[in-house]
Amino acid sequence: MNYTLNQLQIFLKIVQTQSVTKASEELHLTQPAVSIQLKNFQGQFDIPLTEVVGRKIYITDFGREIAEAAENIINQVNAINNKTFAYKGQLTGKLKISVVSTGKYVMPYFLADFMGQHPGVELLMDVTNKNKVVKSLENNEVDFALVSILPTKLNIQKLDLLQNKLYLVGNTTKKFEKGIKTKDIFKELPLIFREKGSGTRQTMENFIERNDVSVLKKMELTTNEAVKQALLAGLGYSIMPLIGIKRELHNDELQIIPVQGLPIKTIWSLIWLKGKNHSPVCVSFLEYLKKEKEHIVQDKFNWYEEY
């Protein structure tokens, strides 16, 4: 047998996600590349590791045993790497962060230099909706979470990073006058909502309820990117975070519609369970953020001030 560490990592991720597509997304590889590596890996065994029924992949009992062995091997390799970095006096370990979906436009900028300074740190970042982010923090599955709406039922500590602004947004086929009354415009515009559990959805619903307006609900989509594509196609309008539409605004593909009461302003905050015993990696990351966050905001998000 001549399987590689890369094949072990890919197979383990397929087992964990139960999907070649999801595995490719989490590994930042193309689906064909993952499929080829899976085929090459399976070809080295006389017993099937997976079965495909319909369009769904299933892991055989033998495949699960191989996945368990693969995980042990990968952990040992990581341990060797950590010992090497530690011997050189470098910071080592895992940094686990759960990020709300729109936060994917924010968090990488607060991570990039830190990760570059500490090659021995392994980043595990999960991007999902607010409910799942809060749940992973509550279950102590992650070190930190990035949210724009603070959970009310958890005892947490926080570090504020960046202001979050939400505007009514649509494509540029129709022009709007300034100072439109909230109740008037929402009677005419079909609105596109994020799914339940989304922080953006919660903020949007709070605004609608607070202003006592009736809306023509058009559709519900599960990602910020899906909402953006629907807006570009002219399917409707939505209240969206400014952070995710920089390029489309600069290219005049989307416009901010001037409405009384907008923008809604919240804060992107890194949160963690109060009293959590942080690892050296987490302590170092917090120290880095406290020292560098203002510089990062000025350097990477100065375009924010245009709106």
- Residue ranges for the chain with pLDDT beneath 50: none
Q: What is the pLDDT of residue 82?
A: 66
The answer to whether 98 and 132 have CB atoms below 8 angstroms apart is: yes
Give the pLDDT confidence of 157-167 residue by residue, as tens digits.
999 999 999 99
Domains in the chain (CATH in brackets) are 5-87 (1.10.10.10), 93-162+267-306 (3.40.190.10), 163-266 (3.40.190.290)
Give the pLDDT confidence score for residue 179 in this predicted structure. 66
User: pLDDT digits over 55-114, tens only?
Assistant: 889 999 999 999 999 888 888 887 777 677 665 667 888 899 999 988 999 999 999 999
Whether the predicted model's global pTM rises above the 0.75 cut: no
Instruction: Give one DSSP letter per residue of 142-191, joined into a string.
Output: SSEEEESS--SSS-EEEEEEEEEEEEEEEESSS---TTB-HHHHHHHSEE
